[in-house]
Amino acid sequence: DSGVTQTPKHLITATGQRVTLRCSPRSGDLSVYWYQQSLDQGLQFLIQYYNGEERAKGNILERFSAQQFPDLHSELNLSSLELGDSALYFCASSPQVNANIQYFGAGTRLSVL
Amino acid sequence: QQQVKQSPQSLIVQKGGISIINCAYENTAFDYFPWYQQFPGKGPALLIAIRPDVSEKKEGRFTISFNKSAKQFSLHIMDSQPGDSATYFCAASRPGNNRKLIWGLGTSLAVNP
């Protein structure tokens, strides 16, 4: 068990809808990372937060947004969902902003029908 | 543009054999090269990592070989076991840039009993 908790495990929704994915990092970790994993694209880095502030952005669509709350949990919001957004979404955490080791949660599988 | 190129995409090995997964990179600023292991239904987990000041690092049956001049590194799994069946990701990071991990696309390894 990595200590990173993601909810829900599975999410089924329709095109055009909006969903929120939640992540609780390991105790004491200040950095949270969000990734999208699809079969043909591997692990795509979306965004990083450190102690409540956005620190790095990757290939995150404008329809997607994230935030990290004072208790350090994070949420990834996906809106105007499209079929192509169906994927596994992982959250990872690390103790510091510059950290080589990331601890991953078990992921949220999103299916957009 | 894939900054870290991983091959092969999939690999089938017999129990007791050697599994070899290769990665190549372009950015000579990279100074940390981890391998992550992902089992079905789980998030990736750090398996082993190397820095370019050494040419090889071994942890149990897992060995990273690093060739700085060729800008390549590889994962060797000795005496491969069915329990090693997983997806393996190589990655690389450099100082600064929040040490963002640049990921390979992954290799699906199946070890036949």
> pLDDT tens digit string along A63-75?
999 999 999 999 9
Q: Which pLDDT score, from 0 to 100, does residue B59 have?
A: 95
Q: How many CA atoms lie within 13 A of A8 on its CB side?
A: 9
**Among all residues of chain A, which has the CA nearest to that of B102?**
A45
Q: How many CA atoms lie within 13 A of B113 on its CB side?
A: 2
Q: What Å distances lie between residue A76 and A9, A67, A91, CA to CA?
A: 14, 7, 9
Q: Is the pLDDT assigned to residue A101 strictly greater than 70? A: yes
8 A C-beta contact, residue A94 and residue A2:
no
Q: Which pLDDT score, from 0 to 100, does residue A100 have?
A: 81
Q: Which pLDDT score, from 0 to 100, does residue B1 have?
A: 62
8 A C-beta contact, residue A72 and residue A29:
yes
In angstroms, what separates the C-alpha of A81 from chain B's closest C-alpha?
23
pLDDT digits (tens, 9 = 90+) for A42-58: 889 999 999 999 999 99
State the average pLDDT over residues A26-36. 95
In angstroms, what separates the C-alpha of A83 from chain B's closest C-alpha?
21
Q: Is the pLDDT assigned to residue A41 strictly greater than 80? A: no
Q: Which pLDDT score, from 0 to 100, does residue A96 have?
A: 82
Q: Which pLDDT score, from 0 to 100, does residue B78 have?
A: 98
The span from the CA of B58 to the CA of A86, in Å, is: 38
The span from the CA of B66 to the CA of B23, in Å, is: 10
- What parts of chain B have a pLDDT lower than 70? 1, 97
Q: Which pLDDT score, from 0 to 100, does residue A109 have?
A: 96
| Residue A30 in contact with partner chain B when CB distance is under 8 A | no
For an interface test with A, which of B31, B46, B97, B101 has the most A Cβ atoms less than 10 Å from its Cβ?
B101
The span from the CA of A7 to the CA of A23, in Å, is: 7
Gyration radius (Cα) of chain B, Å: 13
Chain B neighbors of A4, CB-CB under 8 A: 43
The span from the CA of B70 to the CA of B21, in Å, is: 15
